[in-house]
Amino acid sequence: MMKTKIIGVLSGLILSLLSSFAFAQQPDKEQSLSEQVQALKEQVLELNRDLFILEEDLLFPATTQVAVFLSVDTGVFFALDAVELKIDGQTVTHYLYTERQLDALHRGGVQRLYLGNLRTGEHEISAFFTGRSKDGRDFRRASTRKFQKTTDGKMLEIKIVDSTADYQADFSIVEWD
């Protein structure tokens, strides 16, 4: 049923684009060629956006979707180099950071590390962090959390935060409501 619906929507979008293209081919004294081309470009961009949304819905339905994000509020006690993410013991992503990406994270950016599908039930997520401590030594830490996947989408955030209590970075995984 879902495939039929998507095929119907795609067919409608393609027919709409083709009819717009055919309309643009007809001479119009009031519209210049550049205005017609600009209108077509806007329609193509809109169609591309709609197709992207449909693809995301098809590949990652809300009932099985899991998204994992990373935020960093650190810089004094830990300098991040890389993150490896495992779900149920399997590596799902590994990310090596550039200076520019780290700068964006330090300014409040949040990175989507992973978007995928999981069946309902209990799962375990582990994040392994590689970087340097404040005294320049190589540093590797891990954080693990068990979570329950229901029929709703699940969003998790991995937080790296400086802790002034023990002068080290804290690594935690929290669930978004």
Q: Are residue 84 and residue 139 in the same domain, yes or no?
A: yes
Q: Which amino acid is at 74?
A: T
131-154 mean pLDDT: 89
Q: Are residue 55 and residue 82 in the same domain, yes or no?
A: no
Ranking 22-36, 107-121, 141-155 by mean pLDDT, the lowest is: 22-36
Model pLDDT for residues 84-107, shown as the tens digit of each residue: 999 999 999 999 999 999 999 989
Q: Are residue 51 and residue 82 in the same domain, yes or no?
A: no
More confident residue, 60 or 58: 58
- Which pLDDT belongs to residue 30? 62
| Residue 56 CA to its chain's centroid (Å) | 11
CB–CB of 69/155 below 8 Å? yes
d(CA 28, CA 165): 72
Q: Are residue 135 and residue 96 in the same domain, yes or no?
A: yes
For residue 35, pLDDT over 60 is answered with yes
Where residue 32 falls among pLDDT bands split at 50, 70, 90? confident
Q: Are residue 109 and residue 144 in the same domain, yes or no?
A: yes
pTM, full prediction: 0.65
Ranking 14-18, 45-49, 171-175 by mean pLDDT, the lowest is: 14-18
Q: Are residue 111 and residue 166 in the same domain, yes or no?
A: yes
Q: How many CB atoms neighbour CB 149 within 10 A? A: 18
For residue 70, pLDDT over 90 is answered with yes
Q: Are residue 25 and residue 95 in the same domain, yes or no?
A: no
Q: How many CB atoms neighbour CB 66 within 10 A? A: 20
Rounded to 10 deg, the angle between the 33-59 and 2-25 helix axes is: 170
d(CA 43, CA 53): 15
d(CA 153, CA 66): 6
User: Total domain count for the chain?
Assistant: 2
Boundaries of domain holding 28? 2-59
- Which pLDDT belongs to residue 133? 84
